Amino acid sequence: MKYTLAIHGAPYASQSAQHGIGFAEALLRQEHTIERIFFFHEGVYQALSTRVTPQGEEDLMPKWLSLNARGIELAVCIASGIKRGVINEEERLRYEKISTSLAAPFTLVGLGQLISAINEADRYIEFPV
Amino acid sequence: MKYTLAIHGAPYASQSAQHGIGFAEALLRQEHTIERIFFFHEGVYQALSTRVTPQGEEDLMPKWLSLNARGIELAVCIASGIKRGVINEEERLRYEKISTSLAAPFTLVGLGQLISAINEADRYIEFPV
Amino acid sequence: MSLHLVFNSAGYKACQLRRLNDDPIILLGDGVYCASSTREDNTYLLEIDARVRGIASLNKEANLIDYPAMVALTELYSPVVSWAE
Amino acid sequence: MSLHLVFNSAGYKACQLRRLNDDPIILLGDGVYCASSTREDNTYLLEIDARVRGIASLNKEANLIDYPAMVALTELYSPVVSWAE
Amino acid sequence: MKKMLFVVSQPPYVNTHNAELLEAAMVGAVFEGEVSILFRDDGVWSLLPDQHGELIGQKTFSKMLSALPTYEVNQIFACTASIATRDLTIAPSPEIEQLTLEQQTQLIAAQDVVIGAQR
Amino acid sequence: MKKMLFVVSQPPYVNTHNAELLEAAMVGAVFEGEVSILFRDDGVWSLLPDQHGELIGQKTFSKMLSALPTYEVNQIFACTASIATRDLTIAPSPEIEQLTLEQQTQLIAAQDVVIGAQR
C-alpha cells in the first residue's frame, strides 16, 4: 500500500518524530511505499539545521536523512515553516535574512503537496504530538 | 519592584510572547524594573533569527528588540536552546554547524541565570503557553 | 496571599482545587473561556484576550483588566502562580 | 471500519465518545496511561511507549504491539484517525 | 478524489493551528476533494461571534470561517453536546449543521481520511 | 535566598519539559535556594518505577529523580488525590511525602516563587 504521513510536533516537545520514524521504517520493511512525509504546524521544527543533540540522547536527524536516502520525500509546509523560522536559500534571499535554517534533504512545499499526497495514497496517518 | 519573567512557549504555538511583552511594557511604564526575561522550554524559539512574519500579522521580534533597547536582558536557556536549534556563533563553531540562528540581542545563558534572576527579583512571573 | 494566573480550563480546575478562597485569579489566554464558571469578585479577565475570543461581550459583569491593572495585582500578592495544563 | 490512534487521556475520552464499539484502538505516547481504563480485546498498546513509561509491567494482559503490528492494523482499517487534545 | 474530514478540537488564538488547518481544508476544496469540517470539544469556541484577532495582530478566525462557502466548503458540522456543555450561542454565519455523537461516528466512518489532530 | 517550589503537572517522555524543570530545580539547590518539588495531576506518572527512557534515546526520568537527594533536594511532595485517582504504586526512591489538597495550598502560600507551569 501507499502511505502519506504527517508530523505535527517539534522535537523535544512531542514524540512525533519517534513515532513517525518508527512507523515509516516498519512500512519500508514490509514493502509498503511512502508517498510523502509532510511536516505541518510545529512539525516544521524537525527540519531545523542548527539542532545539537545532547550527549547520551538520540539524534533523530540521521534517521530522517536515512529515510530520505531511501527515496522518501521530506516535505515541510512552507506557510507553517517560514513564519516559524525554517527557511531555505530562496526564502532567505527574498526576506533578506542572514542565514538559512532548513536542513538539506527537507524541502519547502505548499499545502497542495499535502492534499495531493493524501489523494495519491491509500492511507493517511497523522502523528500529532 | 524588580521582576523576573519567564517565557515558555514558541511563537504561533502559544501566546507567551504577547503576554510577556504586554506585561513587560506595562511594568516599564509603571517604573518597575526587569531583572531578566528568561526563555525556557519551547520559549527559546522566540529568539530564532530566521522567522518571517506573514503579511497582515504582527511581528513580535521588534517588540523584543525594543525591550532590549531599554536595557532588558533577553536570556535564552542554553540547554533548552541548542538542542532545539537556537545557537550563537560560539556554539556554531563548537558543533560545526553551517549557520547561527540566535537573533542578535538575545544571549545564551545557563540555568544559573534563571535562579540568580529569581533571587534578585521581588516577583517571578511565568508565561507558559 | 497568592495570585493565580490561569491560562486554560484544565489549569483552572487544578487551581480551584488548591487555592485559598480569598486568593485572586486572573484568567488570560484560553483561561478566559472559564469566565462563565465564576462570578467571584476576586476573579479578573485580561480584557484583550477576552475581546479577541468574543468572550468579553458575553460576560458584561466580569472584572475586565488591562496589563497595567495586572501589574498592580502582582505588586500586592506573592507568590504569583501560573496554571496551564 | 475506522482505526483510532490515541495519544493522550483527553484524546481517549473524545475518541471513546465517537467510535464504534468494534473499532480497534492503538494507545501510544501518553495514550498508554489509559491502558488500565480498558481490557477490551481490540485495544492495543505500543509496547515501546508502554515500557518507556513503566506501564508495560502494570498491564501484563494488555495487547502489546510493535511498529510492524501497528502497520498491519493500518492495512486492515480505514480511515485511520488520530486523537490528541 | 478523497473524502476528507478536517477536525477542529482546540480553541483558536492561543496558537495558529486552527487557521493553518482551515487553510489546508480550503486547499483540499480547491483540489476538488470532498471536504467537510467538524468542530468538537473546545474547538466549538471557534464558532463564537464578535471575535477580534486583530487586537493581537492575528487573523480573525470567525472571518476565515465565513469565507469557507466561497471555497465551496459547505459541509460544516459541530458537535451538539460540545456546544451545549459550554452554553454557547454560535455565530449565524457560516451555516453549520449540529451533529449528535452517533452522527459524528457515522461521519468519521464515511471518510477516506481524517485530518487535524493537535494538542 | 528564595523559597522555590517546582511543580510537575505533566507526564514525562512525550516532551523533555520535566527533565528540563528538574535540572532547574537542581541548579536552584546548588545556588542554595530552599527548593521543594510537587508532583500533581498527570505529573505523578513521573513517579512510576521501571521506566526506560533509553528505549527512545532519552534520559530515564525516574533515575534523574533518584539523584535529587545528592543535590540536597530533599523536600519532594506528591498530591495524594492525583496518585489515588490513577491507582498508582509509586517507586520506593526517592522518599516522597504525600500531601492533601489543603496541604498543597499551604505549601504554595509559603513560597517566594512557584516555577514550572507548562502545557
D26 close to D70: Cβ distance less than 8 angstroms: yes
Could you read off the pLDDT of D40-84 as tens digits, one per residue?
789 999 999 999 999 998 888 889 999 999 999 999 999 999 999
Domain residues of chain C, as ranges?
A: 3-83
CATH code of B2-127, in short, is 3.40.1260.10
Q: Do chains A and F touch (3 or more CB pairs under 8 A)?
A: yes
Q: Please give the interface size between A and D, counted as residue pairs whose CB atoms are below 8 Å apart.
A: 46
- Report the distance separating Cα E23 and Cα E25, nearest Å: 5
Picking from E2, E4, E41 by the largest number of D CB atoms within 10 A of its own CB, the best residue to mutate is: E41
Give ipTM to 2 decimals.
Answer: 0.97
Sheet with D43-46, edge to edge strand ranges: D63-65, D43-46, D25-27, D3-6, D80-83
The DSSP bridge partners found for residue C43 are C25
Q: Following DSSP, what letter does each residue of chain D receive, concatenated?
A: --EEEE-SHHHHHHHHHHS-TTS-EEE-GGGGGGGGG---TTEEEEHHHHHHHT-GGG-TTSEEE-HHHHHHHHHH-SSEEEE--
pLDDT of residue A38: 98
- Report the distance separating Cα F63 and Cα F69, nearest Å: 12
Give the residue numbers spanning the domain of F28: 3-115
Residue among B15, B23, B32 minimizing CB distance to C70: B23
pLDDT of residue E40: 98
Could you read off the pLDDT of E30-53 as tens digits, one per residue?
998 899 999 999 999 999 999 999
* Range B36-47 average pLDDT: 98
| Residue in A6, A27, A76, A77 annotated catalytic | A77
Does the pLDDT at position C57 exceed 90?
no
Q: Do D52 and F52 touch (CB under 8 A)?
A: yes
Residues of B within 8 A of F16 (CB-CB) are 83
The DSSP code for C42 is T
Domain residues of chain B, as ranges?
A: 2-127
Residue among B15, B19, B26 minimizing CB distance to C71: B26
Closest CA to F4 of F114, F118, F119: F114
Domain harbouring F95, CATH code: 3.40.1260.10
Could you read off the pLDDT of A54-101 as tens digits, one per residue?
998 999 999 999 999 999 999 999 999 999 999 999 999 999 999 999
D79 close to D4: Cβ distance less than 8 angstroms: no
Q: Find out whether the peptide bond into B105 is cis, omega within 30 degrees of 0.
A: no
Residue among D30, D36, D57 minimizing CB distance to F14: D30
Which SS3 state, helix, strand or coil, does residue E37 take? strand
B23: left (phi over 0), alpha (psi -120 to 50) or beta: alpha
Verdict on whether the full-model pTM lies above 0.90: yes
Sheet with E75-79, edge to edge strand ranges: E97-99, E75-79, E34-39, E3-8, E113-115
Distance from CA of E28 to the nearest CA of C (A): 27
As its CATH architecture, domain D3-83 has 3-Layer(aba) Sandwich (3.40)
Task: Calculate the CA A63 to chain-centre distance.
Answer: 11
Residues of D within 8 A of E117 (CB-CB) are 7, 11, 81-84
The answer for C 4-43 residues in CB contact with F (under 8 A) is: 7-8, 11, 14, 17-20
Active-site residue, A126 included: no
Distance from CA of F53 to the nearest CA of C (A): 23
pLDDT of residue F119: 85
Q: Residues D59, D63, D66, CA angle at the centre, nearest 5°? A: 110
Residues of B within 8 A of E14 (CB-CB) are 14-15, 129
Residues of A within 8 A of F58 (CB-CB) are 57-58
Distance from CA of E37 to the nearest CA of C (A): 20
Is C53 in CB contact (< 8 Å) with chain E?
yes
Does the pLDDT at position D25 exceed 90?
yes
Which SS3 state, helix, strand or coil, does residue E71 take? helix
Q: Following DSSP, what letter does each residue of F19-62 receive, concatenated?
A: HHHHHHHHHHHHTT-EEEEEE-GGGGGGG-SS--GGGGTS--HH
Please tell me the total count of domains within chain F. Answer: 1
Q: What is chain A's mean pLDDT, rounded?
A: 97
* Range E51-70 average pLDDT: 95
Residue with cell 532545539: B84
**How confident is residue F1, by pLDDT bands cut at 50, 70 and 90?**
confident
